[in-house]
């Protein structure tokens, strides 16, 4: 890893602890509280921040409003908003801006009260306004969860993937969640029933939501938020915690096309770019923080990122190989519990970065011994139609 560029590192993180704020705080308040804690984690102050990255979840005119709310006058404002992958884009953009000398300390924040607002995220269409293909989808009842179910059914048809294989993803993330006190508290606050590690039978026998996806293959809807601080190399080496370096990144988009393959995601484009820039291969990755809106999301993304061949994901995930205590089998998946069992406030990309950093610092509740390399991959939009992919490779010295 000595030849890899060390332009910028994540030096501060914070995850807002509550998944049910009961309407007592706003998304902006969650963002501000998380930012203050992340800066303290880094040993930096508000006065050090000269770049802001925001996905607009706190309201309109995001860049202007968040700068004023935080009392900052940054040199860089980036309001890239591509759903759940926004924060991987932000991390990549922050690294580029720092390398170009435009900034020295970047602040990424997220806040959401999706649960308190009773947002029925999965049963509606893709949010964010009109899309060119709405006239081809809305009239036929294409909800968000139906879109993912369509991908799962197609994957089963093409490759023989089974529901029990998809259930491996849910059982692995729940096993990790049960080791994470914040995730357990989240399940209690969100009134999960029978909170414990789950079995494959539990998953495949849970209520069908959108055939073939069952209840325990669908993410929770929670409140929450967090913040990430990224600093230039000279700043990072003087910060409070060990820097976690951004080694490579990739961005891509995909949308419905005649003859297109809905089981292949934009990760097939963003992943190779990120790995090439970092100079590492998928087989070297210790931690895979993969966007898990649904079980099929993870399976498709693992294939597209190169952890296994296309269509081989079902067999590849069998036998509990995604658990943190199986490091010899490949990367540990979503060791905080993921969107399936820890939190999913609507756009989960920032938590992928946060838990990857915890792992590389040695601070995770499901710590992989000797972890040195991680990937955080966000998927924004709907897997079977229009979506964006952001891949970020992280490493420690």
Q: pLDDT tens digit string along 30-52?
A: 999 999 999 999 999 999 999 99
Residue where the block lists tokens 């690294």: 95
Q: What is the pLDDT of residue 4?
A: 77
Rounded mean pLDDT of 65-86? 96
Rounded mean pLDDT of 54-79? 91
**Which domains, ranges and CATH numbers included, belong to the chain?**
8-117+221-395 (3.40.47.10)
Q: What is the pLDDT of residue 2?
A: 39
Within a 10 A sphere around the Cβ of 309, how many other Cβ atoms?
10
Residues whose CB is less than 8 angstroms from the CB of residue 18 and which lie 6 or more positions away in sequence, other chains included: 189, 223, 224
Mean residue pLDDT of the chain comes to 94
- Does residue 234 register a pLDDT over 70? yes
Rounded mean pLDDT of 160-187? 98
Write the pLDDT tens digit of every residue in 276-312: 999 999 999 999 999 999 999 999 999 999 999 999 9
Give the pTM.
Answer: 0.96
Rounded mean pLDDT of 337-342? 98
Lowest-confidence range among 2-6, 269-273, 350-354, 369-373?
Answer: 2-6
- Percent of the chain past pLDDT 90, that is, above it, reads 86
Cα–Cα distance between 24 and 12 in angstroms, integer? 26
Local confidence band at 28 (pLDDT 50, 70, 90 cut-offs): very high
Lowest-confidence range among 28-32, 117-121, 322-326, 357-361?
Answer: 117-121
- Beta strands in 104-215, from DSSP E residues, in sequence order: 105-112, 208-210, 213-214
Cα–Cα distance between 101 and 202 in angstroms, integer? 52
Rounded mean pLDDT of 365-377? 97
Rounded mean pLDDT of 359-384? 97
Write the pLDDT tens digit of every residue in 131-142: 555 666 665 677
End-to-end CA gap in the chain: 8
Q: What is the pLDDT of residue 192?
A: 96
């Amino acid at each position: 890893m000595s030849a890899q560029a060390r332009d910028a590192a994540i030096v501060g993180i914070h995850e807002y602890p509550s998944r049910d704020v009961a309407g007592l705080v706003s998304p902006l308040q969650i963002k501000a509280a998380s930012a203050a804690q992340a800066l303290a984690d880094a040993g930096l102050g508000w006065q050090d921040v000269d770049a802001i990255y925001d996905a607009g979840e706190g309201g309109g005119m995001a860049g202007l409003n968040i700068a004023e709310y935080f009392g900052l006058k940054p040199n860089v404002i980036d309001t890239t908003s591509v759903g759940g992958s926004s924060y991987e884009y932000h991390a990549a953009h922050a690294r580029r801006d720092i390398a170009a000398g435009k900034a020295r300390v970047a602040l990424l924040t997220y806040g959401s009260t999706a649960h308190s607002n009773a947002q029925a995220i999965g049963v509606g269409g893709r949010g964010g306004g009109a899309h060119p293909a709405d006239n081809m989808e809305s009239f036929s009842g294409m909800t968000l969860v139906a879109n993912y179910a369509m991908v799962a059914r197609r994957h089963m048809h093409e490759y023989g993937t089974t529901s029990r294989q998809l259930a491996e993803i849910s059982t692995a993330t729940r096993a990790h969640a049960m080791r994470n006190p914040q995730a357990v508290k989240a399940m209690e606050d969100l009134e999960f029933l029978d909170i414990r590690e789950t079995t494959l039978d539990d998953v495949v026998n849970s209520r069908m939501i959108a055939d073939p996806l069952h209840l325990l293959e669908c993410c929770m809807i929670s409140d929450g938020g967090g913040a990430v601080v990224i600093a230039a190399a000279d700043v990072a080496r003087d910060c409070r915690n060990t820097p976690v370096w951004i080694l490579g990144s990739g961005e891509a988009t995909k949308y419905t096309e005649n003859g297109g393959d809905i089981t292949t995601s934009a990760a097939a484009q963003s992943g190779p770019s990120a790995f090439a820039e970092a100079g590492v291969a998928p087989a070297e990755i210790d931690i895979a923080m993969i966007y898990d809106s649904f079980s099929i999301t993870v399976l498709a993304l693992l294939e597209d990122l190169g952890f296994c061949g296309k269509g081989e994901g079902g067999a590849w995930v069998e036998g509990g190989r995604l658990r943190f205590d199986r490091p010899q089998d490949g990367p540990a998946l979503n060791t905080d519990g993921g969107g399936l069992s820890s939190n999913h406030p609507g756009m989960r990309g920032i938590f992928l970065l946060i838990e990857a950093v915890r792992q590389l610092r040695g601070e995770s509740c499901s710590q992989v011994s000797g972890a040195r390399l991680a990937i955080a991959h966000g998927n924004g939009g709907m897997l079977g139609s229009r979506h964006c992919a952001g891949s970020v490779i992280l490493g420690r010295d």
